Amino acid sequence: MATAESDSRLIERVGRGDREAFEQLYKRFARPVFAMALRQLGDNGRAEDAAQETFAAVWRSARSYKAERGTASAWLYAVARHAIIDRARQKRENAIEVPEEADTRAGPAERAEESWLTWRVHSALELLPERERVVIELAYWSGLSQTEIASYLDVPLGTVKTRTRTGLGRLAGLLEEVKA
């Protein structure tokens, strides 16, 4: 991913106690972390706790990150997964009941793969300029048509189309090696 190096640099700076780098890292990964926690824990409060623990762990252990062992995104994903699993274990009785068809559809390995793919896509979205990210999210996950998005954002339809296409092109670069 094109931004891996800059993520790495941020984590290395966090490891040296750089709060500004920590804030940047939070801005970049807060939504992917919170979204993953929310999907897997199914509860806002617990998802918030898990996300908080994720960033506390990042602050504590950024020194241990070694860029040569893997990408920064993978390291952060592992930290977040650990915090989420930990939170799920702490209150297993309240864990989400997974529908039976979900169990037959995808095993743990497949679910992990889906989770990783979702993480990659969401992390990449965070790197888009806000104006491009918004139109893509509205197009793919709100069900709005391009015309409806233009009306909702109060911008010309042509602007929506340009931003969407530019954003998709930018995502293609950010997700160069990722396959669905």
Region near another protein per CB under 8 A, out of 3-11, 38-46, 64-72, 100-108:
38-46
Region near another protein per CB under 8 A, out of 4-12, 22-30, 66-74, 97-105:
22-30
Cα–Cα distances (Å) from 174 to 123, 125, 133, in that order, read: 9, 9, 13
Cα(128)–Cα(136) distance, integer angstroms: 10
Nearest to 35 by CA among 103, 94, 153, 121: 121
Rule CB under 8 A: is residue 164 a binding residue for another protein? Answer: yes
Residues in CB range of 136: below 8 A, 6 or more apart: 125, 128, 164, 167, 168, 171
Rule CB under 8 A: is residue 15 a binding residue for another protein? Answer: no
Residues forming the site for another protein (CB under 8 A): 17, 19, 22-23, 26, 30-32, 34-35, 38-39, 44, 46, 48-49, 51-53, 55-56, 59-60, 90-91, 114, 117-118, 121-122, 125, 136-137, 139-146, 148, 161, 164-165, 168-169, 171-172, 175, 178-180
